[in-house]
C-alpha cells in the first residue's frame, strides 16, 4: 500500500500550492510511489484522511483555522509547512501590531460578521512542525526534495546560508556594493537561486532569515545607503515580519528612529 499525502490550505494566496503543482512530470512520477488523497487545488478532497505527510500552506488567522490545524496534525505522521505564511505568518502577520478590532471596523460595514483572530500566526505556534520550507513562494525543487527525503526515511536538510553565498556561486555582482541598493541578501536564507540580484535588483527577503545573521550590521549599512529608520523597519517588516530575527531587528530599528525624533 502506497503512503498517503495531503496538501492543506489555510490563510494564503495559493502560490506555494502552485509551486507544488508546477512539479509537472515529477508530480506524475510521485503518483507511482504515493497517493495524494487531499489536495483541493488539484482535485482530491479528503481533509480528515490519515496521511504519512501533510503539507500546510498558509497561516492561522481564524478560529476555524486554529481548530482545523489540530485535526491536520492528528491525522499526519509528518507535517511540513509550505512557504512564508505557514512558516512565519506571512504578510498577514503585519496586522499583529495593530488594533485588530479597530482595523476590521474601519474596513467592513458589518464587522460582527468577520470571524478572525487578533493575530496571524505560523503553524508552529499551534502544533508540532517536522519540516519548515521557507519562501514566498517556495520553489518546486524544495517541495520534491523534501517529499522524496521523507518517503525514503531521511530527514531533509534545509538551506541555512545567506543569499550572498548564492550570488557568489552564480557570479552575480553585488548590487549593494555596486548600486548602493538596500539588499536584504546578507540576512536572507538562500533557496531562490538569488534571482533578484541576478536581475540587478535588491533581495527583499522572501525566504526569511538565514542562520547566524547580523541584522544590526545590515541596519547600519541600510542607513548608510540613505534609508530612514522607518524604511529600514519596512525592509524587515515585510513578507516574513513574523520571523523572530526580523521582528527583533525591526523593533530595534524603530527604537533607534524614536531616539532620532526625540533628539
pLDDT digits (tens, 9 = 90+) for 82-101: 999 999 999 999 888 888 88
Per DSSP, what are the bridge partners of residue 56? 8, 81
pLDDT digits (tens, 9 = 90+) for 128-140: 999 999 999 998 9
pLDDT digits (tens, 9 = 90+) for 67-82: 999 999 999 999 999 9
Rounded distance between C-alpha atoms, residue 97 and residue 242, angstroms: 10
pLDDT band at 263 (very low <50, low <70, confident <90, very high): very low
Q: Which residues are CB-contacts of 93 (< 8 A; sequence separation ≥ 6)?
A: 59, 119, 120, 121, 122, 241, 242
| Structure confidence at residue 31 (pLDDT) | 84
Rounded distance between C-alpha atoms, residue 251 and residue 233, angstroms: 7
How many alpha carbons lie under 13 Å from residue 225 in its C-beta half-sphere?
21
218 pLDDT higher than 60? yes
The arithmetic mean of pLDDT across residues 111-135, rounded, is 94
DSSP H or E run through 235: helix 229-236
Residue whose grid cell is 458589518: 110
* Nearest residue to 21 via CA among 193, 159, 150, 144: 144
| Structure confidence at residue 260 (pLDDT) | 56
Residue 195, all three cell numbers: 534571482
Cis peptide before 137 (omega within 30 of 0): yes
| Structure confidence at residue 119 (pLDDT) | 92
The arithmetic mean of pLDDT across residues 257-263, rounded, is 54
10 pLDDT higher than 90? yes
Q: What are phi and psi of 211, to 5 degrees?
A: -90, 140
Q: What are the structural domains, with CATH classification, of the chain?
A: 4-151 (3.40.50.700), 163-262 (no CATH)
| Structure confidence at residue 257 (pLDDT) | 65
Rounded distance between C-alpha atoms, residue 37 and residue 31, angstroms: 11
**Average pLDDT of the chain, as a whole number:** 92
pLDDT digits (tens, 9 = 90+) for 150-199: 999 998 988 889 999 999 999 999 999 999 999 999 999 998 999 999 99
236 pLDDT higher than 90? yes
Rounded distance between C-alpha atoms, residue 207 and residue 84, angstroms: 7
Calculate what percentage of the chain has a pLDDT beyond 90: 73
Amino acid at each position: 500500500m502506497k503512503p498517503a499525502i495531503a496538501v492543506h490550505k489555510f490563510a494564503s494566496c495559493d502560490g506555494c500550492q502552485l509551486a507544488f503543482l508546477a512539479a509537472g512530470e515529477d508530480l506524475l512520477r510521485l503518483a507511482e510511489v504515493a497517493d495524494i488523497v487531499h489536495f483541493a487545488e488539484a482535485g482530491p478532497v479528503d481533509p480528515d484522511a490519515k496521511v504519512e505527510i501533510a503539507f500546510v500552506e498558509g497561516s492561522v488567522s481564524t478560529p476555524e483555522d486554529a481548530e482545523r490545524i489540530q485535526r491536520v496534525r492528528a491525522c499526519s505522521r509528518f507535517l511540513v509547512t509550505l512557504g512564508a505564511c505557514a512558516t512565519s505568518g506571512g504578510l498577514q502577520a503585519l496586522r499583529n501590531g495593530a488594533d485588530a478590532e479597530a482595523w476590521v471596523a474601519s474596513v467592513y460595514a458589518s464587522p460582527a460578521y468577520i470571524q478572525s483572530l487578533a493575530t496571524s500566526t505560523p503553524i508552529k505556534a499551534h502544533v508540532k512542525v517536522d519540516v519548515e520550507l521557507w519562501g514566498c513562494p517556495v520553489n518546486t525543487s524544495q517541495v520534491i526534495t523534501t517529499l522524496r527525503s521523507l518517503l525514503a526515511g531521511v530527514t531533509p536538510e534545509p538551506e541555512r546560508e545567506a543569499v550572498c553565498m548564492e550570488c557568489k556561486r552564480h557570479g552575480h555582482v553585488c548590487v549593494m556594493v555596486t548600486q548602493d541598493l538596500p539588499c536584504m541578501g546578507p540576512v536572507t536564507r538562500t533557496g531562490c537561486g538569488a534571482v533578484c540580484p541576478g536581475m540587478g535588483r535588491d533581495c527583499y527577503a522572501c525566504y526569511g532569515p538565514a542562520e547566524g545573521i547580523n541584522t544590526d550590521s545590515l541596519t547600519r549599512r541600510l542607513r548608510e545607503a540613505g534609508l530612514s529608520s522607518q524604511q529600514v523597519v519596512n525592509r524587515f517588516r515585510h513578507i516574513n515580519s513574523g520571523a523572530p530575527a526580523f521582528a527583533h531587528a525591526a523593533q530595534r530599528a524603530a527604537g533607534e528612529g524614536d531616539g532620532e525624533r526625540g533628539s
